[in-house]
Amino acid sequence: MRTKIFCDSADYKVIKFFNNKSLVDGFTTNPSLMRLSGAKNYKDYSLKILKICRKKPISFEVFADNPKEMLKQAYKINSWGKNVYVKIPVVNSKGLFMGSVIKELSKKGIKLNITAVYTFEQTKKIYKCLNKKTKSIISIFAGRMADKGKDPLPIFKKSISLTKNNKNVEILWASTREAYNYIQAKQLNCNIITMPPKVINQINGFGKSFKSMTLDTVKGFLADSKKSKFNL
């Protein structure tokens, strides 16, 4: 099974660039990335992106904290395009599981990306709420787990095993930190990995020999030393 690569960015220029690259299969955004990209009006900025990204799947997240408001936003976001996945956090800021929101939207055939998942228990609860005929993504935050000294692999193994017989439900490796995470995701048969642009570009360096890497490293040190005009 091929692990699909998504680009994790809301930057218009970045999305425009990678939208034309066969290596990238889709895109993920979130409110933090939208803010970082300078978006002032959430809808207008999203529609601007969708003018250049018409076919590849792209996720836009609700930013309401109240379940009723989440539903209202989700219906609006869903109307923006057929390639749009509506991103729903697994819980709100009060820790309340958004099962009712997930269940209603999934039942109506709205494509979802359930985000901020950290445990297999959360994956199981989400999976129970999903309409198995509706396309859905469960985003597990591997990098943030690893940042706290936790091994994310066992959670992925269990989650992939749970959903592997349903082609409409995909597990996504999120918060990617390095290019080697792509190898890990492939070894696990993870459906999707989303990466920041810098990490996607690093994949192009796969297969480079250690000898050439050594030379590149030493040349880099030498060039910086000369630029700084170091002298002893």
pLDDT in tens, 149-201: 999 999 999 999 999 999 999 999 999 999 999 999 999 999 999 999 999 99
Residue 22 has pLDDT above 90, yes or no: yes
pLDDT on residue 205: 82
Residue 32 has pLDDT above 90, yes or no: yes
Q: In angstroms, how far apart are the furthest CA atoms of the chain?
A: 71
Q: Facing residues of 8 across strands?
A: 28
pLDDT on residue 36: 97
8 Å CB contact between 46 and 60: yes
DSSP state of 2: P
**pLDDT tens per residue, range 190-216:** 999 999 999 999 998 898 899 999 999
8 closest CA partner among 207, 161, 142: 142
71 closest CA partner among 58, 91, 88, 93: 88
Structure tokens at 134: 């509706």
**pLDDT tens per residue, range 74-125:** 999 999 999 999 999 999 999 999 999 999 999 999 999 999 999 999 999 9
pLDDT on residue 51: 98
- Residue carrying structure tokens 């990204």: 53
| Long-range contacts at 144-151 (CB < 8 A, ≥ 24 apart) | 144/118, 144/175, 145/118, 146/177, 147/177
Secondary structure of residue 111 in the 3-state scheme = coil
Question: CATH topology for 4-207?
Answer: TIM Barrel (3.20.20)
Number of Cβ within a 10 Å radius of residue 104: 17
In the chain, domain spans: 4-207
pLDDT on residue 1: 82
8 Å CB contact between 58 and 90: no
Sign, CA dihedral 143-202-39-29, equals negative
Determine the Cα–Cα distance for residues 3 and 184; give it in Å rounded to an integer. Answer: 10
